[in-house]
Amino acid sequence: MSDRRLRYRNATERDERRNSGGNIERDTRNFSPLPGRRNAEGRNDADDVNSNDSGSETDEEDDDNWQENAEDENDQDDEMATNRSILWLCQEGQLRLALHRFDNLKRQDQEKLKKEIFQIGRDQNTALHEILMGGTTERSSYRLAFQLVEHCRKHYPQEFRQSLSIRPPSHRRTPLHWAAWGNAELNLVRFLALANPDALLMDDADGRTPYQIFNRYFSQVRPTQDMLFRMTKGWKQSLIRRTIQKCVIRYFLQQQLRPFDKTHRQQTGIKPKPWFVLSILGILVQSEMRPLYDHILAYSGGMIKERRLGISTRRNKSQKRKRAVEEDQVVVVVEP
């Protein structure tokens, strides 16, 4: 917790304690309606009234002092927001001030705003890293993260995509990893994934993708989990198709290699099975059978084993018994 938030919480608790104590004293104090009559403590009611008046004056003085201190803290906060960068404010947890500075720079100085958005700290974290690392449960943190993503997607798409690929050496996580770790809003996670789909397949320091992190901690949140699963699977299949297409164009159109030729395969360094698949597509491309080529390419990557995504694969009974023995488990198979 930052110093400012700690001071604000202590001041609020002190004020509530003072108000509640004053109400209790007024309710429990035994005042007599008759003047000159003494209460149970042997004191005159007039003395209680005078002491109550002096106490109320003291409370009023304390309230005035507290308001002056609060105004001084607000002035300090405004000065801090004008002198500090967005990254520094996010590192210190001053997200409300960071949002205030973001709005001011958005209206006044776009160049300075761009510089502070993509500023990298000593630990290689950006401002978006710092926001998502602390979670987006607070209103100010969610508003700041959402507005920052929206502004960068519209005005700086290339720089924003590069910043979303930054993985600091301490944790090796992109902003999408931290959004999944903090169970961010569905729209925020979708915008981060669409801005840089490569982050869907990047591993952190523990070897986990954003989908694996979310599936580990928030598997009960089905909408976000299903969206990350579909986007991760679809992007990996898309990368496989693009890689196959680049290889076919390079080897059989640009270099004019012969399909199924062993000598040419050895020149490329490709193994026999992948070369066989590329040769089939290469014959279709060289024969100008483009529709059939596109049809076969559309199915490429669809049958890939996605164990990292959590897709279950079929195993026969012998494989299940072998795996159970390795894990020191007992499996009883009941035949019908």
Question: Over the stretch 269-282, which tens digit does the pLDDT of each residue have?
Answer: 999 998 998 999 98
* Entry pTM: 0.65
- Residue 239 backbone class (left: φ over 0; alpha: ψ -120 to 50; beta: rest): alpha
d(CA 284, CA 241): 16
Question: Over the stretch 128-159, which tens digit does the pLDDT of each residue have?
Answer: 999 999 888 888 899 999 999 999 999 999 99
Q: What pLDDT does residue 58 have?
A: 56
Q: What pLDDT does residue 74 have?
A: 54
Residue with token string 């209680």: 48
- Closest to 232 (Cα-Cα) out of 163, 297, 307: 307
- HEC string for 247-306: HHHHHHHHCCCCCCCHHHHHHHCCCHHHHHHHHHHHHHHHCCCHHHHHHHHHCCCCCCCC
Tell me the residue type at 123.
Answer: D
Count of H-run helices and E-run strands, the chain? 16, 0
Question: Over the stretch 34-63, which tens digit does the pLDDT of each residue have?
Answer: 344 344 444 444 444 444 455 555 555 555
Q: What are phi and psi of 182, to 5 degrees?
A: -95, 5
Tell me the residue type at 10.
Answer: N
CATH class of the domain comprising 86-219: mainly alpha
Q: What pLDDT does residue 69 have?
A: 56
Q: Is 232 helix (H, G, I), strand (E, B) or coil?
A: helix
Give Dmax over CA atoms of the chain in angstroms: 119
Lowest mean pLDDT among 133-142, 259-268, 284-293, 311-320: 311-320
Kind and range of the H or E run holding 47: helix 45-83
Based on its alpha-carbon atoms, the radius of gyration of the chain, rounded to whole angstroms, reads 33
Average pLDDT across the chain, whole number: 76
The upper half-sphere exposure of residue 67, i.e. CA atoms within 13 Å in the direction of its Cβ, equals 6
Tell me how far the alpha carbon of residue 66 is from its chain's centroid: 37
Question: Over the stretch 177-219, which tens digit does the pLDDT of each residue have?
Answer: 999 999 999 999 999 999 999 999 999 999 999 999 999 999 8
**Residue ranges of domains in the chain:** 86-219, 235-323
Give the mean pLDDT of 89-110: 91
d(CA 159, CA 176): 16
Neighbours of 67 (CB within 10 A): 11
Please tell me which residue, 28 or 324, carries the higher pLDDT value: 324
Q: Are 252 and 284 in contact (CB under 8 A)?
A: no
Please tell me which residue, 15 or 98, carries the higher pLDDT value: 98
d(CA 84, CA 275): 58
d(CA 108, CA 180): 33
Q: Are 191 and 229 in contact (CB under 8 A)?
A: no
